[in-house]
């Protein structure tokens, strides 16, 4: 679904969530078409695996980030993400909320 990060040039996004979070599952699924369009890879991180992450994100999950930039939380805003990805040089077109 998402491009591999084999050459280090692939844009990498991080989805912070929880294993039992249906909104997290929905956001991950909704990212599929954008992943095909922009060729990014995504790291899924369970905030319950790290107390600092749990404290930082709390009930905001899911949170989609690129580096230190929060792109969106709770629900994917595909148009904002598309405008953002386009602005940072993604291979397609793309949320700073």
What is the C-alpha to C-alpha distance for residues 91 and 37, in angstroms, rounded to an integer?
A: 7
Confidence (pLDDT) at 1: 37
Q: Can you give the pLDDT of all 97 residues of the chain as single tens digits?
A: 333 344 455 799 999 999 999 999 999 999 999 999 999 999 999 999 999 999 999 999 999 999 999 999 999 999 999 999 999 876 543 333 3
Confidence (pLDDT) at 15: 98
The closest alpha carbon to 43, from 59, 63, 26, belongs to: 63
What is the C-alpha to C-alpha distance for residues 54 and 74, in angstroms, rounded to an integer?
A: 15
Confidence (pLDDT) at 91: 56
Question: Cβ of 30: how many Cβ atoms within 10 Å?
Answer: 15
Domains (range + CATH), the chain:
12-87 (3.40.30.10)
Confidence (pLDDT) at 93: 37
What is the C-alpha to C-alpha distance for residues 22 and 45, in angstroms, rounded to an integer?
A: 15
Residue with tokens 């709770």: 74
């Amino acid at each position: 679904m998402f491009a591999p990060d084999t050459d280090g040039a692939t844009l990498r996004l991080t989805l912070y969530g929880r294993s039992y979070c249906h909104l997290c599952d929905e956001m991950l699924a909704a990212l599929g078409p954008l992943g095909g369009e922009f060729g990014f890879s995504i790291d899924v991180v369970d905030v319950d695996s790290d107390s600092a992450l749990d404290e930082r994100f709390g009930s905001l999950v899911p949170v989609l980030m690129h580096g230190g930039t929060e792109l969106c939380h709770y629900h994917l805003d595909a148009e904002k993400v598309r405008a953002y990805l386009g602005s940072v040089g993604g291979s397609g077109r793309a949320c700073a909320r």
